[in-house]
Amino acid sequence: MSSSSPAPTRSGPPAPPPAPDLREHGGGGQTSDTRMFMQLLAFTGCRDTAAVVEDVKQNAKTGAVVYEDLNDPFGVAVLSFSTDPADFVAHTRALVQNGPLAELTPRPRYTMFGRSYSLGYERDLEDTLVGRPKRHALDPKMPWVVWYPLRRSGAFTRLPAEEQKTILKEHGTIGFSFGGAGVASDIRLACHGLDANDNDFVIGLMGPELTPLSQLVQTMRGTVQTSTYLEKLGPFFVGRVVYQSPMEA
């Protein structure tokens, strides 16, 4: 009596991997595909800020803010924001290529671009992604600004999720303290793959006075995230608002 091996079974093609979930997630199952994109462009050689303001006021097709640079007496910067990233190529680009801004010298080291994002527990996801960053950028009571990019070290991303949350909570508690006192607000943007220098985030700090913003950065230096897990911080753009587009724009 002869024995024979079972015939090999043929399997079909491997199942495709699941599609990535590209939505932002908030508390209670909220999801959104809408984000606020923001771009800071800085220039030097400006001898007529009023002309820049008038040009932005008349010709900007997106929300916009104009700053005078604290550290450069000839420096200005324009913050543009929109929920459509194509607007920065179609409209902000045209604004810079024409009018007073075209006569100035760009300062690419201060160029920053990012998108709003969620942490997963937000009570009002749409406001977190769109309303909040817009309000903070256009708040007339917060004329001083400090904008800077940062990159976390790879070691942070390898930490367990709960340990990451604990580290970020320390950072957030300090921010809430300054915010609750009315001396600072912030805009947090992700810029993974969007930044020329491979930064992870762009941070904007806004306040009625400059000193608390400096003290906020100083206080953050002592946190575990900043002291242990930040690979790069800055450069810092420090400025004061000279124009903000209307909130309804």
In a domain, 52, yes or no: yes
The Cα–Cα gap between 11 and 53 comes to 67
- pLDDT of 3: 54
CA 158 from chain center: how many Å?
23
Q: Is the pLDDT of residue 2 over 60?
A: no
In a domain, 1, yes or no: no
In a domain, 203, yes or no: yes
In a domain, 77, yes or no: yes
Q: Is the pLDDT of residue 180 over 80?
A: yes
Distances 168 to 161, 162, 163, 212 between C-alpha atoms, Å: 11, 10, 9, 21
In a domain, 191, yes or no: yes
In a domain, 53, yes or no: yes
The Cα–Cα gap between 23 and 43 comes to 35
- pLDDT of 66: 98
Chain segment 52-67, per-residue pLDDT in tens:
999 999 999 999 999 9
Chain segment 182-229, per-residue pLDDT in tens:
999 999 999 999 999 999 999 999 999 999 999 999 999 999 988 898
In a domain, 131, yes or no: yes
DSSP string across 69-91: ETT-TT-EEEEEEES-THHIIII
Residue 165 pLDDT class (50, 70, 90 cuts): confident
Q: What is the domain-level CATH number for residue 226?
A: 3.30.70.1030
Q: 3-state class of 68 per DSSP?
A: strand
Question: What stretches of the chain adopt beta strand conformation (E)?
Answer: 24-25, 31-32, 37-44, 63-69, 76-82, 105-106, 112-115, 144-152, 185-190, 201-207, 230-233, 237-244
Which carries the bigger pLDDT value, residue 230 or residue 178? 178
**Nearest residue to 147 via CA among 246, 36, 233:** 233
| Domains in the chain, number | 1
Look up residue 110 and give its two tokens: 């201060």
Backbone angles phi, psi at 143, to 5 degrees: -80, -20
What is the residue range of 128's domain? 30-244
The Cα–Cα gap between 125 and 174 comes to 22
In a domain, 6, yes or no: no
State the chain's mean pLDDT as an integer.
Answer: 94
Chain segment 92-120, per-residue pLDDT in tens:
999 999 999 999 999 999 999 999 999 98
Question: What stretches of 95-209 adopt beta strand conformation (E)?
Answer: 105-106, 112-115, 144-152, 185-190, 201-207
Chain segment 5-39, per-residue pLDDT in tens:
666 666 678 888 999 999 999 999 999 999 999 99
Q: Are 206 and 145 a contacting pair, CB within 8 Å?
A: yes
Environment class of residue 14 by beta-carbon count within 10 Å: exposed (0-12), middle (13-18) or buried (19+)?
Answer: exposed
Q: 3-state class of 40 per DSSP?
A: strand
Q: Are 184 and 215 a contacting pair, CB within 8 Å?
A: no
